[in-house]
Structure 1
Amino acid sequence: MVRPFMLTGGRTRPAHDGLRLETPLRAAPAALSAPLRFEYHRVVELCRQPRSLADLSAALVAPVGVLRVIVGDLLTDGYLRIEQQPEVFSTDLIERIRDRIRAL
């Protein structure tokens, strides 16, 4: 088991602020071949299809705060991008986010 602060280099604040749990993220095309550390590469792999911050947290079994820092770094470096957020969220999306948060 790796301590969360080891994954973020001891940082607790993300480089990119304003990420919500439902923020849809997608990997940039060149990101999969980039030389990234294991956790960062795994996030990029998962984001081949749009994934929310909550989805990533549940899939990696990592605290949301840690994912905020990692995703913030990837956004700053151009490896991830924020997809267009819908104006109104579907019931299915809200239920899926709720279920993923409960899984944590």
Structure 2
Amino acid sequence: MTVDPWGQPHGGAPIPQEPASPVRPFTVTGGRTTPRMQLAIEALVSSATTAHLDLSGRPPEYRAISSLCRQVRSVAEVSALLRIPLGVVRVVIADMAAEGLVQVHQPQLDAGKPDVTLLERVLSGLRRL
């Protein structure tokens, strides 16, 4: 059995050997579990920072998300690629958006109906599997 970067047991495919983070997920968010803004898991996130902006004084999660989101990514992708729990990623991205470090593009819901384009993209992705 492998462990995730948080030191928790993980079933499934082996995770590349990385040292387990000594920081628990709730400390990354200061104990907050609710993001400052509603943030859908399919919301797209792009880095609003330039390569010249110094993020060295920011938490490592800020730097990782800013770097990863130089290409537009969904909140779910950020969580999966950085192996950070979704709830933590949502809180951190919302904080970064409030500071102007990332731009969040929320999906538009038409009277509660799902976006057809999003569903087509999901279906296309599933077919590629």
TM-score by length of 1: 0.78
Answer yes or no: is 1:94 the counterpart of 2:122.
Answer: yes
Tell me what 1:56 maps to.
78
Q: What is the CA–CA distance in structure 1 between the aligned matches of 2:29 and 2:107, rounded to whole Å?
A: 26
Answer yes or no: is 1:14 the counterpart of 2:23.
Answer: no
Which of 22, 46, 63 is the equivalent residue of 2:68?
46
Q: Alpha carbon RMSD of aligned pairs, Å?
A: 2.5
Identity %: 35
Tell me what 1:5 maps to.
26
Q: What is the CA–CA distance in structure 1 between the aligned matches of 2:84 and 2:125, rounded to whole Å?
A: 15
Q: 1:9 to 1:22 in 2, by over 3 A?
A: same
Q: Which amino acid aligns with 2:96?
A: L
Q: Which is bigger in relative contact order (C-alpha 8 A, separation at least 6)?
A: 1
8 Å CA contact retained: 2:35, 2:94:
yes
Q: What is the CA–CA distance in structure 1 between the aligned matches of 2:32 and 2:48, rounded to whole Å?
A: 24
Aligned-residue offset at 1:9:
1.2
Q: What is the CA–CA distance in structure 2 between the aligned matches of 1:80 and 1:96, rounded to whole Å?
A: 27
Q: Where is the helix percentage greater, Structure 1 or Structure 2?
A: 1
Aligned-residue offset at 1:26:
0.4
Secondary structure of the residue aligned to 2:118 is coil
The higher radius of gyration belongs to 2
Cα deviations by residue, 1:17-47 (Å, 9 ceiling, x for unpaired): 2211110110013376232211111001000
Q: What is the CA–CA distance in structure 2 between the aligned matches of 1:20 and 1:79, rounded to whole Å?
A: 18
TM-score by length of 2: 0.64
Tell me what 1:26 maps to.
46
Q: 1:82 to 1:37 in 2, by over 3 A?
A: same
